[in-house]
Amino acid sequence: MRNEWILDKNHLSYWLRQLRKERELVGPLLNGGKDIVFRTVEQIHEIVLDLPASLPSPKEFLLPQYEPMLRLDIPGGEPGVHYRAQPVSPDACVKGSRAGRVYDLAERRRRIVFGVRPCDVSAVRLLDRFFLEGYRDPYYEQRRMNTLMVTIACNNPDPTCFCIGLGTGPYLDGGFDIQLTDLGNRYFVQAASAEGVRTVKATSFLFRRPGKADHDDQYEVILSAKARFRKRISLESPRGMILAGRIKDDFWQRVAARCFECGGCVYECPLCTCFTVTDRRYHGGIERARLWDTCLFKGFTRMAGGVLPNEKRMLRTKRWYYHKLIHYPEVLGGFGCVGCGRCTLTCPGKIDMAAIATAMKGLDLDGATAVVGKGRQVGIGEVMRRPKPEETGAGPEGEG
C-alpha cells in the first residue's frame, strides 16, 4: 500500500492541533499584515495557507544564524545569563583544578515546520549530506532528528522560481517527511520518511485512502502548476560554458562590480552552509557559538599572517558560482542550487543565480563578449537588457 491519503481541509486544524501536542509547531504567519514569516504558531487559525511560493528558507531551524554550542563555566566566577543549559554529563569537566564545567547547548526541542516548499526539502537533503556524511555534525544532527517538515507543494510558482529546471520542485516524489498537495477542498497527502509515515498513521482516523478521482485531480494540478513557471533555466548550459572555458574573468569582473558584499545570497540560500565559530567571554565563563558566515567575504579565508588569498571580489563571486555549478555536481551529483529564487529576491546588485545563467546565455547568443559600453563598466543587468541606444562617450575620467 502506498503511503498516500486524503485529508479534508476541514480537518487540517484539528490535525495540526494533534501534532502540536508532541512538538512545537512552526508555520507561516502574516506579520502585521506585511510579510509572511515562519514563527511559532500560537493560534492555528492564523496560519496562512494561501502562500506565495517562496517564503524565508527553513534553514534557520536546522542551522540558526546564531547557535550557542557550548558553555564553559569557571568556578568562582559569576554565572552568566544562559538558557537551555544541560550538563554534558554530571562530571563533564575539563582537566585542571581551576577549570570549570562544560555544558552542551545543542538544541533538542521537537519541532514541526509546516508549510515548507519542495525546493527547501530538496535543499535539506543536500544539507544532510554535507553535515551528516562522514563527520556527523552533532548540532545539526540534533536539530534535524527532532524536526519534522510538512511540505506544501507549489500550485502557484512565483515569477522568481525555477525549480522546474532542476527537478527540485514544484512536487516531489520522495525525500520529504510529509507532502501536501492542495486539491481545492482537500489535500493529497504523501508521507515518505519513517517519521512522516508514523505521524500520519498516528492520526489515521482523519485520513482516507485516495481514489482514482483524487489521483486524477492531483495530476491535473501538477500539470497546470508546471505550465505556470515563467523562468525556464537550465544550469547545465552555464556549467557547460564554464567547463568549456568560455566564461572569461572579465565576465566575473563585471558580475563582481555589482556585488554589495551583503552576504544575502548565502544567508538566504537554503543550502549554503558557511559558518564561523566565535567565543564570547562572560563574567563567569565563555560561550562558544557558531553563526552564519559567507565565503563571499574576503576575511572568510584569511590566512595566518593576514594574507587574503581571495582579496579580489571577483575571485570570491566566481568561487561561489563555481562551487554551486561545478563542485556540487562533481561531489554530490547535483547542482548546488534548488531554483528557489531567493537570491533573486534578495540580491541588491541583481547578480543572482538566475541572472547569471541568463547573462551567460546572452553571451552564448552574442558570441564571445557581452554587450559592453565604450570604456565604461556596464552592469550585468544591462547585459540582460537591450544595450543603450546611445553612449554618452563619457569615460571614467576627470582627474583629481
Partner 1 sequence: MTVCPYCGCGCGLYLHVEDGRITGTSPSRSHPVNRGSLCVKGWNAHEFVTHPDRLKTPLIREGRGLRRATWDEALSLTAARLAEIRAEHGPDSIGVLSSAKCTNEENFLMMKFARAVLGTNNIDHCARLCHSSTVGGLAAAFGSGAMTNSISEIADASLLFVIGSNTTEQHPMIAMHMLEAVDRGATLIVADPRRTQIAEFAHIHLRHRSGTDVALLMGIMHVIVSEGLVDADFVRRRTENFDPFAEELRRYPPRVVEGITGVRADDVRRVARMYAMEKRSMLFYAMGITQHVTGVDNVRACANLVMLSGHIGLPMSGINPLRGQNNVQGACDMGALPNVYSGYQRVSDPRARRKFERAWRRRLPADPGLTIMEMMDAALSGSLRAMYIMGENPLMSDPDLNHVREAMERLDFLVVQDIFPNETAEIADVVLPAASFAEKEGTFTNTERRVQLLGRAVGPVGESMPDGDIICALSERMGYGMSYRGAYEVMEEIALLTPSYGGILHHRLSEGFGLQWPCPDGGHPGTPYLHRKKFAKGLGTFITVDFLPPDEPPDEAYPFLLTTGRICFHYHTGTMCRRTAVLEREEPECLAEINPADAERLSIRKGSRVRVSSRRGAIELKADVTERTPEGTIFIPFHYAEAAANILTNPATDPGAKIPEYKVCAVRVERVER
The residues that touch partner 1, with contacts defined as CB under 8 A, are: 31-35, 37, 56, 60, 64-67, 80-81, 83-84, 107, 257-258, 260-264, 267, 276, 278, 280-283, 287, 291-294, 297-299, 302, 306, 345-350, 376-377, 379, 381-382, 385, 388, 392, 394, 396-400
- Smallest gap from residue 176 Cβ to partner 1 (A): 24
Q: Which is nearer to partner 1, 203 or 346 (CB)?
A: 346
Q: Which is nearer to partner 1, 172 or 347 (CB)?
A: 347
Distances (CA, A) of 330 to 121, 131, 326: 21, 17, 6
- Smallest gap from residue 45 Cβ to partner 1 (A): 21
Distances (CA, A) of 3 to 186, 193, 207: 17, 10, 11
Q: Which is nearer to partner 1, 169 or 263 (CB)?
A: 263
- Smallest gap from residue 14 Cβ to partner 1 (A): 27
Sequence-ordered list of residues with C-beta below 8 angstroms from that of 151, at least 6 positions apart, any chain: 116, 117, 118, 120, 121, 172, 176, 177, 178, 179, 180
Cα–Cα distance, 364 to 360 (Å, whole number): 6
Q: Which is nearer to partner 1, 84 or 209 (CB)?
A: 84
Cα–Cα distance, 117 to 280 (Å, whole number): 35
Distances (CA, A) of 156 to 36, 182, 332, 361: 16, 11, 29, 26
- Smallest gap from residue 203 Cβ to partner 1 (A): 27
- Smallest gap from residue 333 Cβ to partner 1 (A): 30
Q: Which is nearer to partner 1, 179 or 273 (CB)?
A: 273
Q: Which is nearer to partner 1, 75 or 348 (CB)?
A: 348
- Smallest gap from residue 56 Cβ to partner 1 (A): 5
In 32-78, where do the E strands start and end? 35-40, 66-73
